[in-house]
Structure formats: structure tokens, C-alpha cells
């Protein structure tokens, strides 16, 4: 199966394996008049159309981009996409002045979603998740990291991870599952959080690792949730369980989560709204990615992570939605890029690299995805505009016109399209 993507005014991509650091973050390779040849799901060629035809002949299918801009599909390296219910009541309470933590401590927050998620059937969770995945996809995201964490008991955590596996099997988006059983202290352990930490370490983490349903593990390291010492214990045997580490770090208070992530050799330290200068220096000396989630700052009306300082210090900065029902209910990477530029002060080229190649590095997949280069998976988006700045320029609307995943057109003219399934709107 071959696909030729042609007619682009611009093809823009970061290049090279590994996260781009410092000034390299702003360096995109920009082709004018290039075509992209996809063969059997991979990128086989990027360059002049005449050379493409000489080397490969007629393609099975052509996607004419009509003067648009082609970018790599977005990689979203931090999402919580499986949940039931919604928390619009908390949104109103926060607008009236209560904080995220006030609401969590009064019985709302993560535990209110835990209540709804435990009560939902796996079918209901899968249906809700697939609807979210369609929104991720139509906004240009072709790969996500996906966390559990609204079960907070063995059975529901496993069911969430099964939903992630099932969604991965039926949806074009690739999902990389993370166990976040240490997302909060469940109500039944409120009076004895230490017993919950012991249960996670002794039983829940090992059982989930045995199931093979998670690639990585995460902990919400935060004042009033899991402190540094508990987080250290929760992650001490990650290696022997076969898990890489992501960490919710320095989100609401400057606890030193970034330094701990570095100490543990984590793939990423995420949020970092309250990171200290010592934390920035530690990340800059390490391979641990700094995953920034400006949707959370926007939605909680809290400070931005110090994106410029992190980039300038040489940290591997990536961007993600944090898609979840409490602090960032969005699937839209273009919205995140708007916030990263207009809010946090990154340039558009920097934000593109942070949402593609660096985001792929933050989940350990930069050898497979995240840039438009020969040999990588053919995951591409076409913007409704001639240049990559149009990601943000026409703000508040979806700038993504077409999406290609693994060499197949899966969104056409903004609509979910799959030539191999009954969901094809044209019925072919």
C-alpha cells in the first residue's frame, strides 16, 4: 500500500533522533515543493515529485494537500483519557475562588471521578474513550501516552488498562499505557494513607506488572497526595517490574519532584509549574524530559511552567494536553501550542518540536515517530494554511484538515475517515 502526499506549500519537521535541546528546539527543516511517499506505513521518501515518481512509480493513493502545510502527527506524552462522568460543578466552584486542592479535600477532585469510573462498565469506558480518541485524532494527534488512575483499586485499574489496550487495537491512534494507580489516596484509605502506599507496593503494582498491560508507571508526587519519600518507595522497584517512570512533579507546590525524577532516571518529569532553579538545573544535566502541560495552568488559572528557562537551560522540553476531567479537559494539541506560545513564550517552531520529536522522546519512541524522515512511521497532518504558524494564527478553531496515520488517511477535510471500516462517512 503506497500513498503520495503532494501539493504542499510547506513540509515542516524537526529532524534527527533524540530530543532537540536549547536553540535546536527552534530549528525546523522546511521544504517547499516536497512530496512525501509512504510505503507500507512508513515514510519512504521526502523530496521532489519527479524523483519520487522515478524511484517509486504511480502510488496506490494520492492525498492532494492543496497548498497546505504538512507536519508530523502530534505525539501527546501525558494523557488521562479513560474516565466516566464529568466535573463541570468543580469548574464553577473554582471560578468562584475555591482552589483545586480545596475541592479535592472536600471529597471532589480525582476521587469524584474514581467514584464514577468504578461504577461504569468496561463497555461504557471504552465508548467514552473512543469518542475522546476521535477528538485527539481530528486535532492532529496520532500517538498518545495513556494513564490509568481513576480506579484506585486493583480491579478497576486493570479494567482501565484493558480499555486502553482495546482502544489501541481498534483505533488508529497508538496508545502507550502507564499505570497510575498512585494517582490519589482512595476514600477507603483516607485515615491510613500509609496502608495504601504499602498495598500499592506489595500487591497492586506487582499484579499490574504481571498483567503486561502497562509500559510505564507514574505517581502524583504532591503535598497532600504522595510525598517525596512515599514516591521514592512507590517507584523503587519500577526497574524490576519492567517499567519506565513518568512523574507528576512540582505541579501545585515546589516539592522537589523534578530532582527526584532525575534521581530515579525517569523518562519524564511532568507539569513543573512550581519547579525550583535547582530542579531546572537537575533536569538540564539529565536525560529526563520536561513535559509541560499549559492546559492545566490555563484551566486552573495557575502560573505557567517556566518554559523559557527550561529551554534556555538545555532541558528536553515537550508539550502535552494532560487530557483529564479535572484540570485539563481537552484533546487539542493546537490549543496547547497556542497556550505554549502566547502564554508561556515559546516560538511556534519550538512548540512544534516540543509536540512532535521531543514528545516522542518523552515516551521513548523518537526512533519510530515524531518527525518526517525516511524510515519513520508515516504519521502526518495537513494544516488548513500555507505555513506552520497557522497552527496558532487562526486561534480557537481546529487548523487540522487531514491526518495520515501509518500511511492511511484517517481524517479527511476535518472528518474522521477510515477506508477500511464502516465509519467511512462516504460508505466506501
Query: Contact positions toward ligand NIG, by CB under 6 A?
Result: 80, 109-110, 113, 220, 248, 251, 296, 322, 324-327
Rounded to whole angstroms, the Cα distance separating 194 from 7 reads: 60
Residue with cell 488508529: 172
Nearest residue to ligand NIG, by Cβ distance, number only? 326
Interacting residues of 154 by C-beta distance below 8 A, sequence separation 6+: 181, 203, 204, 207, 208
The answer to whether 322 is a known ligand-binding residue is yes
**Contacting range for Fe ion; rule: CB under 5 A; set: 69-77, 151-159, 319-327, 353-361:** 319-327
Is residue 184 a contact point for Fe ion (CB under 5 A)? no
Which partner, ligand NIG, Fe ion, none, binds residue 370 by CB below 5 to 8 Å per kind?
none
User: In what side-by-side order are the strands of the sheet with 380-383?
Assistant: 29-31, 10-13, 69-72, 380-383, 400-405, 408-412, 415-416
Give the bridge partners for 182, in sequence order. Answer: 219
Burial 160-186 (b: 16+ CB within 10 A, else e): bbbbbbbbbeebbbbbbbbbbbbbbbb
- In angstroms, how far is CA 427 from the centroid of its own chain? 31
Helix (H) or strand (E) holding 141: strand 141-147
The answer to whether 140 is a known ligand-binding residue is no
**Contacting range for Fe ion; rule: CB under 5 A; set: 5-13, 190-198, 230-238, 316-324:** 316-324
Residue with cell 532541558: 315
Q: How far is the CB of 138 from ligand NIG (least distance, A)?
A: 23
Specify the residue, 78 or 205, whose C-beta has the smaller distance to ligand NIG: 78
Specify the residue, 73 or 325, whose C-beta has the smaller distance to Fe ion: 325
The answer to whether 189 is a known ligand-binding residue is no
The answer to whether 366 is a known ligand-binding residue is no
Is residue 322 a contact point for Fe ion (CB under 5 A)? yes
Q: Are 411 and 370 in contact (CB under 8 A)?
A: no
Specify the residue, 250 or 251, whose C-beta has the smaller distance to ligand NIG: 251
Chain positions 231 to 270 lying near Fe ion, rule: CB under 5 A, are none
The answer to whether 248 is a known ligand-binding residue is yes
Strand ranges for 57-140 from DSSP E:
61-64, 69-72, 74-76
The answer to whether 40 is a known ligand-binding residue is no
The answer to whether 139 is a known ligand-binding residue is no
Rounded to whole angstroms, the Cα distance separating 64 from 55 reads: 19
Set of cell numbers at residue 281: 538545573
Exposed (0-12), middle (13-18) or buried (19+): which is 356, by Cβ within 10 Å?
A: buried
Which partner, Fe ion, ligand NIG, none, binds residue 304 by CB below 5 to 8 Å per kind?
none
Q: Contacts with Fe ion: how many residues (CB under 5 A)?
A: 1
Specify the residue, 69 or 75, whose C-beta has the smaller distance to Fe ion: 75
Rounded to whole angstroms, the Cα distance separating 118 from 246 reads: 24
Q: How far is the CB of 242 from ligand NIG (least distance, A)?
A: 24
Specify the residue, 157 or 251, whose C-beta has the smaller distance to ligand NIG: 251
Which partner, ligand NIG, Fe ion, none, binds residue 110 by CB below 5 to 8 Å per kind?
ligand NIG
Q: How far is the CB of 273 from ligand NIG (least distance, A)?
A: 10
The answer to whether 327 is a known ligand-binding residue is yes
Q: How far is the CB of 159 from ligand NIG (least distance, A)?
A: 17
Which partner, Fe ion, ligand NIG, none, binds residue 382 by CB below 5 to 8 Å per kind?
none
Specify the residue, 70 or 252, whose C-beta has the smaller distance to ligand NIG: 252
Specify the residue, 113 or 156, whose C-beta has the smaller distance to ligand NIG: 113
Set of cell numbers at residue 11: 513540509
The answer to whether 78 is a known ligand-binding residue is yes
SS3 of 22, please? helix
Site of interaction with Fe ion (CB under 5 A): 322
Name the binding residues for Zn(2+).
Answer: 78, 80, 248, 322
Amino acid at each position: 500500500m503506497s500513498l503520495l502526499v503532494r501539493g504542499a506549500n510547506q513540509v515542516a519537521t524537526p529532524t534527527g533522533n533524540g530530543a532537540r535541546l536549547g536553540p535546536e528546539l527552534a530549528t525546523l527543516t522546511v521544504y517547499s515543493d516536497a512530496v512525501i511517499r509512504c510505503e507500507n506505513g512508513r515514510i519512504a521518501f521526502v523530496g521532489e515529485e519527479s524523483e519520487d515518481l522515478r524511484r517509486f512509480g504511480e502510488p496506490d493513493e494520492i492525498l492532494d494537500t492543496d497548498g497546505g502545510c504538512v507536519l508530523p502527527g502530534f505525539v501527546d506524552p501525558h494523557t488521562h483519557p479513560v474516565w466516566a462522568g464529568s466535573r463541570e460543578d468543580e469548574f464553577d466552584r473554582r471560578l468562584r475562588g475555591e482552589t483545586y486542592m480545596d475541592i479535592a479535600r472536600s471529597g471532589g477532585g480525582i476521587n469524584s471521578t474514581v467514584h464514577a469510573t468504578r461504577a461504569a462498565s468496561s463497555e461504557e469506558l471504552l465508548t467514552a474513550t473512543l469518542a475522546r480518541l476521535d477528538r485527539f485524532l481530528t486535532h492532529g494527534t496520532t500517538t498518545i501516552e495513556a494513564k490509568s488512575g481513576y480506579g484506585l483499586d486493583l480491579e478497576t485499574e486493570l479494567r482501565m488498562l484493558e480499555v486502553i489496550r482495546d482502544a489501541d487495537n481498534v483505533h488508529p491512534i497508538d496508545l502507550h499505557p502507564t499505570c497510575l494507580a498512585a494517582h490519589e489516596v482512595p476514600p477507603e484509605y483516607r485515615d491510613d494513607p500509609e496502608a495504601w502506599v504499602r498495598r500499592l507496593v506489595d500487591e497492586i503494582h506487582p499484579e499490574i506488572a504481571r498483567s503486561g498491560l502497562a509500559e510505564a508507571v507514574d505517581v502524583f508526587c504532591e503535598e497532600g497526595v504522595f510525598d517525596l519519600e512515599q514516591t521514592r518507595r512507590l517507584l523503587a522497584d519500577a526497574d524490576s517490574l519492567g517499567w519506565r517512570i513518568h512523574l507528576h512533579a512540582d505541579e501545585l507546590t515546589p516539592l522537589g519532584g523534578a530532582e527526584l525524577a532525575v534521581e530515579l532516571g525517569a523518562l519524564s518529569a511532568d507539569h513543573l509549574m512550581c519547579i525550583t532553579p535547582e530542579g531546572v538545573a537537575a533536569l538540564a544535566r539529565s536525560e529526563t524530559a520536561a513535559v509541560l502541560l499549559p492546559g492545566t495552568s490555563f484551566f486552573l488559572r495557575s502560573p505557567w511552567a517556566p518554559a523559557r528557562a527550561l529551554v534556555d537551560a538545555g532541558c528536553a522540553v515537550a508539550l502535552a494536553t494532560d487530557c483529564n476531567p479535572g484540570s485539563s479537559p481537552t484533546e487539542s494539541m493546537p490549543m496547547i501550542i497556542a497556550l505554549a506560545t502566547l502564554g508561556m513564550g515559546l516560538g511556534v517552531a519550538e512548540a512544534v518540536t516540543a509536540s512532535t520529536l521531543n514528545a516522542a522522546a518523552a515516551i521513548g519512541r523518537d526512533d519510530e515517530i515524531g518527525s518526517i524522515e525516511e524510515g519513520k512511521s508515516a504519521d502526518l497532518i495537513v494544516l488548513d494554511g500555507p505555513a506552520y504558524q497557522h497552527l496558532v494564527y487562526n486561534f480557537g478553531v481546529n487548523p487540522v484538515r487531514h491526518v495520515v496515520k501509518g500511511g492511511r488517511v484517517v481524517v479527511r477535510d476535518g472528518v474522521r475517515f477510515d477506508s477500511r471500516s464502516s465509519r467511512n462517512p462516504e460508505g466506501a
